[in-house]
Amino acid sequence: MTEQPMVRFDKVSKRYGSLTVLDGLDLDIGRGEKVSIIGPSGSGKTTVLRMLMTLETINDGVIWVEGEPLTHMQKNGKLVPADTAHIRRIRSKIGMVFQSFNLFPHMTAMANCIEAPVTVLGMKRADAEARAAELLEMVGLGQKKGHYPSQLSGGQQQRVAIARALAMRPKIMLFDEVTSALDPELVGEVLEVIRRLGREHDLTMLMVTHQMGFAKEFSDRVCFFHQGKICEQGPPNELFGAPKNERTRQFLHAVLEAG
């Protein structure tokens, strides 16, 4: 890749006590690239996203975002732990959508979407509302602006969560099994929104998913994780069509069997 990657994991390790969850992970994600992460439970998929979102500290290595270290600062040519201002500046490039939505239950859909733009970006309330209205419209919830999360279905809540993340104008969007908590009939509407995002926005997207069909159709690249390492990666038609690694074959076989 000649262009600077949007995100670079550089020998990143994560341990919980004696348990090594990620082991020297190297992963480059290009600008605008759509990358899916698949793999068995406990292989460290969620941890990758959480580290990039700074929800988890890392034990070794460096994560780079557009050529800048995420949790470190360059000082006299050395990397030192970053201060809050630095972390917040880099973090502003990243948005995340969670499996369990995590909407603010005491706020309407609209209030959820303008909270950060007003308090963090310093947008005027009216401007933030106009932008949030557009986003809620885009995710098909133009009529639900005044609804509280408890008045919305799971699929609708997740679409609000997507709009809320987009309101901060991130360059990178992280999706962690965003349809896993949904009733099957609601999965489609959320995936449709993500599809639309991929088409219409110049976003770099990194998603953990168990929807193999979606990963195949949507992503530019699929990474198969196993025991804290990328076991195999490649374009979806290769990885799904002709997996080279025995573990990948076993995993895909098991998943397709179950699905």
Partner 1 sequence: MIWDWAFALEILPTLARAAVVTIQATLLGFVIAALLGLAIAVARIAVPRAGWAISVLVELIRSTPLLIQIFFLYFVLPNFGIVLDAFAAGVIAIGVHYAAYCSEVYRAGFDNIPRGQWEASIALNLSAWTTFKDIIIPQAIPPVVPALGNYLVALFKETPLLSAIAVLELMQTAKIIGSETFRYTEPITLVGLFFLAMSLVSAMLIRGVEELLNRRTIR
Ligand X SMILES: Nc1ncnc2c1ncn2[C@@H]1O[C@H](COP(=O)(O)OP(=O)(O)OP(=O)(O)O)[C@@H](O)[C@H]1O
Q: Is 43 in the site for ligand X (CB under 6 A)?
A: yes
| Closest chain position to ligand X (CB) | 46
Binds ligand X by CB under 6 A, chosen from 1, 4, 11, 16: 16
Backbone angles phi, psi at 102, to 5 degrees: 55, 35
Q: Is 46 in the site for Mg ion (CB under 5 A)?
A: yes
Nearest CB to Mg ion, comparing residues 193 and 208: 208
Distance in angstroms (rounded) separating the CA atoms of residues 213 and 140 = 23
Please, what is the minimum distance in Å from the beta carbon of residue 49 to Mg ion? Answer: 8
Q: Is 42 in the site for ligand X (CB under 6 A)?
A: yes
Nearest CB to ligand X, comparing residues 43 and 233: 43
Nearest CB to ligand X, comparing residues 45 and 144: 45
Chain positions contacting partner 1, by CB under 8 A: 53-55, 88, 91-92, 94-96, 98, 100-106, 115-116, 119-120, 148, 150-151, 164-165, 168
Instruction: Please tell me the count of residues contacting Mg ion according to CB under 5 A.
Output: 1
Q: Is 104 in the site for ligand X (CB under 6 A)?
A: no
Please, what is the minimum distance in Å from the beta carbon of residue 122 to partner 1? Answer: 12
Q: Is 96 in the site for ligand X (CB under 6 A)?
A: no
Nearest CB to ligand X, comparing residues 42 and 146: 42
41 binds, among partner 1, ligand X, Mg ion, none (CB under 5 to 8 A by kind): ligand X
Please, what is the minimum distance in Å from the beta carbon of residue 76 to ligand X? Answer: 34
CA angle (32, 259, 185) in 5-degree steps: 75
Distance in angstroms (rounded) separating the CA atoms of residues 225 and 142 = 38
Binds ligand X by CB under 6 A, chosen from 6, 7, 12, 21: 21
Contact positions vs Mg ion (CB under 5 A): 46
